[in-house]
Each structure stands twice: as C-alpha cells, then as structure tokens.
A and B are shown apart, each in its own frame.
Chain A
C-alpha cells in the first residue's frame, strides 16, 4: 500500500494531468499552441537551403510602371496591349492576376455611343464624322479590345473570386457554360472548402479565356498563409485555384484531368493534401524565377527568350496595389510570389505532407514524454533530469525539423515539446519548492539541529548526548571541530578521560586540530584507569577502578558484563566469588538524583528491597542480597534463564489457554503470598513475569515501581503507556493488592486474546477507558474461549476494587475450577 502510494505521488498526478491537457489540446488543435506550432514551422521553412525554381515569369505592374504609364486602374486596353506584346515571346500560358468582374465604364465611350445613336436616328450615317465616331467607339471600348485579344490569344487564364462560407449557396445557381468548363463535379466526401457566392470575370472575358481559377487564400489562425486551397466547392462543383489552372494549362492538361480523392491527382502528378484538400505550401526564399517590369516589357527591353514556354503572370505589385500575404517567409509577400511557389511546388514535386502516421507518432511521443514526466522525472537527480529533458527536447525537435526539411514531413513538435518543457518546469520547481522545505527540515535535522541540541545538552551537562549530537555533524567543518574540542575539554574537567580521548580522536579523523594529538597522548597515559559504569550523564561520581586487570566489583560481587538496562539502572551479570554463584545485579545509581532526594530514595529502595527480600516463594524471583558500594545501591538476585511474557502477547504467538491459566494461577499464588506479607507489586505487566526454560513462572521486581514512582505528588507523570494500571492507580489513589489483581486481569486478557482490554489512540482516551469503559467482551476477541473465562476476566477487571477478587487465592480457586472444565 505504501509502495502504491509512492507511485501515485503528486509528481505522478501532475505528470498525468499535464499529459492529458496536452492530449486534449493536441486533439482539438488548440489555437495558441497551433500558433506556436506555425511559428516553429515558419522558422524551419526559413532554414531551407535548397534552391528551387519555377518556369514562371512575372510581369509586375510596379511603381515605376505606374509612374510612367499613369494612374491605376489602367484602361483594360493596356493589358490587351501587353498580352499582344507577350504573344511575340511565345509563352506557354498567361495568367492575368487582375479580377475583371465588372464591365468597364468609360465616360467617353458612353458619350460617343450617345452621339452615334443620335446620328443614326438622324440618318446621317453617310457623314465622315460618323465613320470617325464609329472608329472612336471601337478604340474606346476597352472591354471589347481585351476580350478580342483574349479570344485571339487562347492562352489567357483569368482569376475568379469565391466567397468562402460554411454554408452552400441558398439556391442552386444557374451555372454558365464557362464556369462548368472550368470546374469539375464534386465527387467523394465533400471535404473541401465551401463557397456560397462566385465572382467570375465578365462574361465576354470568361467565355474566351483558356481557363478560370480562383484566387482565394486561406490564412491560418495567426493570419499567415501556409496552404493553398487547390479546389473549392461551389454549388457542388470544384473550382481549381488560379495557380493550379496555370499549371494545368502549362502542362497542357485539362480541368477534367483532376481527380480529387484522398489526395489530388492530375494524371501523373500526385499532390498530397492536408486539411480540406488544401496543399501545404512549401515556401522557399530561394525560389528562382524572373520578374520583369511592365514598363520594360512594353518598351521591349526584355531578352528575347524571357517568356518563351513559360508561365507568365501579369500581376500588380506596386505599393498599395497588389495584395500581399503574410507567409512563413515574410509578412508582406506579394500575391504572385505565393502563386509562383505553388506552381513550383507542384511542378517540382516539392510538397509538405502531414503523413497519416504523423498523428500517431505525435500521440506516441506525447505519451512517452508524459510517462517520462510522471514516472521517471521525480526519481531522477536534478542534474540528470535536466540533461535528459534537454536531450529529449533536442532529439525530438531535431527529428521533427529533419523530417520537414528533408522529406517535407511536417510533424507537430510543439505539443510534445511543450509538454516536456512545462512538465519539467512544474515538477522540478515544485520539487524545488517543496522538497527544499523538507530538505531544509531534514538538513536542519542532521546538522544545524544537532549542533543546537548538542550545545544545549552540553550546557545541561549532558556531555554524552552532546557528543552523540556533535558526532552527527560533519567533523571536517571547522566550527564543528571547535564545538567538539570544547566538549572534550568539558569531559576532561569532569575527569571522564576516555570520553575526552574519544572526542579528540573523533576530531583527529579530520586531520590535526589545535593540540589534540598532545592531549590524546597525555590522556591515554592517565587513562590506565578504566571507568566503570556505562550510560547516564552526571558522572561526577563515576567509580574509577585502577587498571584494567582488576575486575570491577560491586560489594563482594564481581561484575562480568552488562545484561541490560532496567527501569532504575543497569543490570549486570555478577558472580559471587565465594560460592561461585552467578547472580543478576540490579543497580540504582543515585548520583543522578538531587542530593536532597538521595537519602529519601535510598531509604525507600532499601525498605522495598528488604520487604521483597523477605519474600520466599517459588514464583517470586529470589533476592539474595542488597548493598551499597560507592554511589551505587544494588540488589543481587536469582539469575533466571527464560523470557518474559511480553513475547506471548502477540496474536500469532499466543500460548494455549491451559498454559495461560497455569501461568496466571502461579502469578496469583505469588501475589497472594506477597500481599499477605504486605508487599504490593504495583507494576504487574507481562515484562515483569518470567517464564523460565523449565516452565517455571517467576514474578520479578516487587515493589520496585514504588521506588521508581516518585512519592511526591508530581505535576503529572506519564510513564510510558499505562495499559496495565488499575483505575485507582490512574486516579492516584491508594494502591493495594487488588490493584495488582486488576493488572493481572489485563495480562490475562492479553495473553488469551493478543489484544489489550483497554486501548486508546491517546493516553487520555486510554486512561478514560480504563477508568470508565468496560473491556470489550472476551469472546468477541477470541470466540473459541469458554464462557467461564469471561466472568473471571470481568471480575478481575471490575472498576470498583470491592467487586474484584479480594485475594489471589480466590482467583486461583476459580482458575482451578476452570481448568477442570477445560
């Protein structure tokens, strides 16, 4: 469960959320990110090194032409004149990128026509003026002139304009012949841009033109043009674009050769298409084609083969005239540049494709990055994670750019890139902010706190703990050395030379410091003395025993080794040299107490030990001897081999009920004996009941609790968890044998069930439960136990001591009864 919790860490959640957000944005092509994507696309486009060319010559109506020829719009006859001139250069096809959607309105022409009408009405048609006027009419009728040229030339492509809309035209329009000729019927899924209105050139032009193509551009969200709508659906017919028409006619193909399915195919040309059959324009700054000024062409100043077999585009490009487009390669690219680029793309087979696998590839990369963020990143070190993240970013953008430049495969690199970038920033900064907090805490824990605690302990005279604390600080640190050095001096002052040596040697690990080497050797000379007695702090009165050869003794007992630490002091394994008997020696060091208290404490210790020492019962640990040596009071007692009952209180280590009854019965016997001798144990708990290897039961530490618990009414003493205390003990009332029986009841309950009868999540609730709530029914916890136990337990655990067993003997009798029935 913990492991699971670790996997679903907050980083993981952040990673998953970010990934999901990215996927959502990716799926719906979220505009801001899409915009960024275009930016990258544009940047990549500008990185193109390849030079491409197109068989295109542009006749630009530039500023110079306007300045020399006259203000725009020019009479259409000028264009007609130009077409006429171009004719001599033998171009393959001529595109006039000027939309002539209205008939020319010419004030002069109208006037002339009026006059002609009048003359005709008058019948003066024979007059020379009439002929002159008729000639003037012809000269003035620009539309007629241009249309005649168009008809004559047969190479002219004219633009038309479609009004793009998401709705089809309101009613099926009547399609004139010339429109039908220049479009193909819609087939397949209507996945095309749709138009609701059409603006063709005037009829006289349109009917004679070689082809008509729309000049619509479809900018992206950011206003830049990146794709060409090759076909637009108007009234269920597909109209090719101006550029496409030029290509078709250049190749001598017909509109009917266009097949629009998944892609657009024109005979052997396959144009991969993007969204809505648009073609991604592969812009290239280094596109080679020629541009001539209208004026130069008019003045025959162009080379002879300038237009031969080329696509010629007549397009306005003077400032304020021609439309410019925002494109990946620049914000003001003339219209005809885009047209030329499209022509070049188609003719050179230079396409940009969103391959069908691109979506899945990007999806895969997003998920991969997401996994990296949520699973790997939080587990990496800061440096490594930064490097890996950077590598991922570089590799991914490298791959994407390479694909675009070399194969024209456009992969959207921003979504995954942004995910990894944002994810890294969020997770690492979060980690930084939060773990930094925790780290600060931990570090504080290890160094600063330790220093501070060490100093405090040293100030309190608790040099051992102070040393322990300082030891946790890096000894290489000069300030730590200084602290340790001072501690060493303190140890010396207290004549704890071996401790001082230990401190100095600890400093010496990190190289020489002040006079420590000298001090160490000096102290070692002094330290032929060993210091007896471990642990504890105030060691002013530590017993010094000369030379290590002599065994330390307490009274007449030789101290062999330390057995453990008890509630009141260290327990040693001792030997009585006279009768060669091994004993356990419990010590009580009272240098740890205030001198005023020592007398009182000593008195109490001996009184209790004396009382306990009088007890002689097979189930009570025998006390052989008590005494006092130096500043240590001790108690020599029977050395027992066995374990205490604490071990058998766990659910899976419970003893069989009959064995439990035997033990409880033995303890009850011991208590009965002790109580009748006026000794109350006061601290019956599993840890104080020994089960020896031979099965014997021994109760230890009679009355010790009394010594340990201060007789003075303390402010409030919480000694560990008072699970075994009787209600009257908790309330601080007088304690007698019946309290021991209550505690034994708790032990009994625990040995049978493996749980304590009174529990609480805090000491307060525990105490409250002991004093007020009844124990949970025994058979609820251990249903297999006979009902008779329940009543015994309940009687033992009665809140009112009058309701309990009054003596251990009563309990023994009931238990014996119980055992019989078992």
Chain B
C-alpha cells in the first residue's frame, strides 16, 4: 500500500490571520490538524504548540521514550494510546503556557490527529475538527464534534437543520488547553486500499457539505489537487474561517514499484 498525502491551509476570505496549523509526518504516517482559538492571536500560538508537541512526541529527541500521559486505554492499541498521550501532553503545554500570560488566558485549539500503523489507523480528536473516511464512493465522518450544537443534536434538543442555522455553531464543549486535563476521543480502524482520509478544520466543513467533499476527493487521486479544490470551494462559499485540509490517499502499489520490491527481495 502506498500513501500519498498533502496538507494545505488557507486563512479564508474574512479572517486576517490564520490560526490553523497542521503537520504531516512521512516517516511514521502522522497527520494532525489544529484549529486555534483565543484572543490576540493566541489561537495561533495554541495550535502551533499543539502541532509542535505532537510532532515532537512522535518524531522529536524524546520520541522513543513513549511516555504514557493520562489514562491508558486498554481497549485501544499501543499506537492509539501514544496518540492520546501526545494530545494530552499538548493540552498540558497549552494550558500551562496560557497560565503564564493573561493575554493568552483561555486560548485553546481543536485537534484532529490520525496515525497509521500498517493498515491500522488510530484517530484522536478534541473539538470540531474532523476526520472523514472516503471508501468506495461513500463518505463517513469518523469523529464526533465536541461542539454545543452537535451536543444539542445528539440530545435531540435541536434538529440538524436547526443546528446548521444555529448561532452557537462556533461554541465548543471541549478544546485543548482550556483545562489542565482533557478528555481525548480515541478510536481505531483498519484501512483498505483505495481509502481516502480527509482531516480538516471547521473552516472547511461549515462551508462545504460532506457530499461536495466526497465528490472532490473522488474526482482526483492527487492529494494536492484535492486539497486545493476543497480550499477553493470553501472560499467560493464564503471562506468565513481559516481552512485547513489534509488528504491521504491509500493507493495500490503500482506494478513497477512491486518489481522494485522483487529486486529488493533478491538482494536479500
């Protein structure tokens, strides 16, 4: 299986700055999208801290330490727990940073992270950044937004239509960095060839419907083009918020690359 991935971020049409951040690690496939919030550009700081910490956790000088932070979920794999630990560490970092500077007080960030261990995908998220799985012409949202409206929809206080119109769409119930501890939603699943993952901030999802995401992702097999088109689409629809998209295509290895592998086989 070959992984092709691309991430892009855009500040949108309205905002003056981009508080989103993302990272894509190739060596051990890790994809993270963070959408910062808070006054005085502290959102940018929060999302940057989050991305840096998570990146460091997986690929920094201390990466091999495998610190377990917070509760170890026995029903999840080691990899998933590592992802959870990384996010909890980021939460701690943001929270503590926020404590030192009154201007940063209340800064926070959403996070959506995916880690690929062979075919096994670990996902984790906090807030309203989402992870989608596109598989055989269907799109499935793998994450549950931690937002007031999604909570209200879940409790059947309002309908989905009302939710779309709600003024409180931007109110989160959970975010990284606003409290010393954070509950991270963890999950894992197995991927197949031909699957596509989309990680995005709410700048995309509030502007572009799931169906449109599906059709864009399905229309190309080049992640760079997919990202570009998704961002363009969001901007065309208003671009009210920063837009960040990572698309991950899981491709069948082409015949010549397998030939390459055969060579390797002989070399052994």
Q: What is A's interface to B at a CB cutoff of 8 Å?
A: 437, 440-441, 444-445, 448-449, 451-453, 455-457, 459-460, 462, 464-465, 535-537, 565-569, 589, 592-594, 596-597, 601, 708-710, 712-720, 730-733, 762-764, 767-768, 771
Q: How far is the CB of B48 from chain A (nearest CB, A)?
A: 7
Determine which of A449, A592, A710, A731 lies in contact with B69 in the assembled complex, contact meaning CB atoms within 8 Å: A449
- Chain B residues with CB under 8 Å of A763's CB are 171-173
- Chain B's closest residue to A762 (CB) is B173
Determine which of B14, B19, B68, B168 lies in contact with A730 in the assembled complex, contact meaning CB atoms within 8 Å: B168
Q: Is B234 close to A, CB under 8 A?
A: no
A464 vs B87: C-alpha distance when bound (angstroms): 22
Q: Is B148 close to A, CB under 8 A?
A: yes
Determine which of B16, B70, B92, B106 lies in contact with A717 in the assembled complex, contact meaning CB atoms within 8 Å: B106
- Chain B residues with CB under 8 Å of A537's CB are 97, 100-101
Q: Is B89 close to A, CB under 8 A?
A: yes
CB distance A768 to B53 under 8 Å?
A: no
Tally of A-B Cβ pairs under 8 angstroms = 160
CB distance B52 to A460 under 8 Å?
A: yes
A179 vs B160: C-alpha distance when bound (angstroms): 100
- Chain B residues with CB under 8 Å of A762's CB are 173
- Chain A residues with CB under 8 Å of B45's CB are 460
Contact residues on B (Cβ < 8 Å of other chain), bracket = 35 or more
Question: Which of B35-43, B219-227, B259-267 lies at the binding interface?
Answer: B35-43
A453 vs B92: C-alpha distance when bound (angstroms): 9
CB distance B148 to A462 under 8 Å?
A: no
CB distance B41 to A452 under 8 Å?
A: no
Known: A716-B172, A768-B152. A449 touches B89 (CB 8 A): yes
**Extra 16 A-B pairs, beta carbons < 8 Å, given A449-B89, A597-B41:** A449-B67, A452-B60, A453-B96, A462-B100, A465-B97, A536-B100, A567-B102, A601-B40, A710-B38, A713-B14, A715-B170, A717-B106, A720-B105, A732-B168, A732-B170, A767-B168
What 1/0 flags go to B84-119 for Cβ under 8 Å of A? 000001001100110011111110101000000000
- Chain A residues with CB under 8 Å of B104's CB are 592
Q: How far is the CB of A466 from chain B (nearest CB, A)?
A: 10
25 contacts between A and B (CB under 8 A): A441-B69, A452-B65, A453-B92, A455-B60, A456-B52, A456-B56, A459-B52, A535-B100, A568-B103, A589-B103, A594-B17, A597-B41, A709-B39, A710-B39, A714-B37, A714-B39, A715-B36, A715-B43, A715-B170, A717-B38, A717-B39, A718-B108, A720-B105, A767-B168, A768-B152
A437 vs B73: C-alpha distance when bound (angstroms): 12
- Chain A residues with CB under 8 Å of B100's CB are 462, 464-465, 535-537
CB neighbors of A among B221-253 (8 A): 240-242
CB distance B40 to A593 under 8 Å?
A: yes
Known: A567-B105, A569-B102. A452 touches B57 (CB 8 A): yes
CB neighbors of A among B111-137 (8 A): 128
Known: A452-B89, A715-B170, A718-B172. A457 touches B148 (CB 8 A): no
Known: A453-B96, A460-B49, A464-B100. A437 touches B68 (CB 8 A): yes
- Chain A residues with CB under 8 Å of B157's CB are 768
CB distance B67 to A448 under 8 Å?
A: yes
Known: A444-B68, A594-B17, A718-B106. A731 touches B40 (CB 8 A): no
Q: How far is the CB of B87 from chain A (nearest CB, A)?
A: 13
A568 vs B57: C-alpha distance when bound (angstroms): 33
CB distance A568 to B93 under 8 Å?
A: no
- Chain A residues with CB under 8 Å of B167's CB are 731-733
Determine which of B15, B56, B178 lies in contact with A712 in the assembled complex, contact meaning CB atoms within 8 Å: B15
Determine which of A444, A709, A731 lies in contact with B168 in the assembled complex, contact meaning CB atoms within 8 Å: A731
A748 vs B263: C-alpha distance when bound (angstroms): 80
- Chain B residues with CB under 8 Å of A456's CB are 49, 52-53, 56, 93
